[in-house]
Amino acid sequence: MGVLDGKVAVVTGGAGLLGTEYSRLLAKYGAKVLINDTNPDAADKLVKEITKAGGTASAFIGGVESWEKAGRIIDACVQKYGRIDCLVNSAHKTAAKPIWELSEEELDVSLNIHLKGHFACAHHASKHMVKQKSGSIVTVSSRALTGHPGLSPYAAVKGGIVSATFSWALELAAHGVRVNCINPAAVRPKEGEPEVKHMQWHWDFRLDRMSWYAPVPGPKSVAPLIVYLVSDASKWVTGQVIFLSGDTLAIMRHPKEEKFAFMPNGWSFEDIERYFKETIGATLEKPGMGAGQYAWYEGVR
């Protein structure tokens, strides 16, 4: 008996780098999996692999970038399996350019597939889950939300996904539906190279040198967190952002105000100019994944 026996899961982007591992492991632990992807060959190949291994899976080919398309995915799942217990939003596509080279069309790709796609799929899935009074939605963000040069559209939508996760968790808690977010880090291992287990946290992170991409653990190391978050073992967990890669499991603190400074009669420009650096400005943080100490006290350049 698997911990997900009787559960039905939809994985968007389910035949991609991370989505493939999510789909495989969900099926291994007993879930019936609807694999949504825009690549029919990859999706069909994965369905055959899962079925041959004794699991249950089917493919639905289509995008997530509109309310209508997302509705078709969820409807296909309910029509085939009778319900939906888990939604894993893993569809991915983005542009990799600095802001001064970015086009509106390239921005729209990230906005539609990541952010709108998350909203659209969650909208349709949650309607069924509210009626069932149970369910788990897993959103997929990225540590890029803390700042990633050359990937600002991706970073922005991933930040939006985290904020949406907090709101949906609050909205759906009374209906027995949990919503959590994962912040994975994974790179496809090169053929012949040993699998990396250790996740490093500090890099020389400049626009002209993306040294953080090596070494990074592979996608298999992330999938166990998906199984946990959609299983009943985590029925007490909602509204959280959790990181997993290789040997490292971590939780992201919720954004909130801290390092307060007070001026009894309110703050003037002169007050802020005089006291900012020695009060809240004394602990400024440099943006970016795994960033070190704040580097710009003497000016950005």
Strand partners, 178: 136
Pick the catalytic residue: 154, 213, 275, 297? 154
Q: How far apart, in whole angstroms, are the C-alpha atoms of residue 120 and residue 69?
A: 8
What tokens does 216 get? 């990074």
Distance set, CA 43 to CA 20, 21, 24 (Å): 9, 12, 12
Please list the alpha-helical segments (H only) found in the chain: 17-28, 40-52, 67-81, 104-110, 117-132, 152-172, 223-230, 269-275
Active site residue 154: yes
Residue 259: exposure state from Cβ atoms within 10 A (0-12, 13-18, ≥19): exposed
Cβ-Cβ contacts under 8 Å for 57 (sequence gap 6 or more): 23, 27, 32, 33, 34, 35, 46, 47, 50, 51
Strand partners, 210: 205
Other Cβ atoms closer than 10 A to 160: 18
CA nearest to 36, candidates 51, 48, 25, 46: 46
Residue 134: exposure state from Cβ atoms within 10 A (0-12, 13-18, ≥19): middle
- Whether 39 and 93 have beta carbons less than 8 Å apart is answered as no
123: amino acid identity, one letter:
H
Phi and psi at residue 209, in whole multiples of 5°?
-150, 95
Active site residues: 154
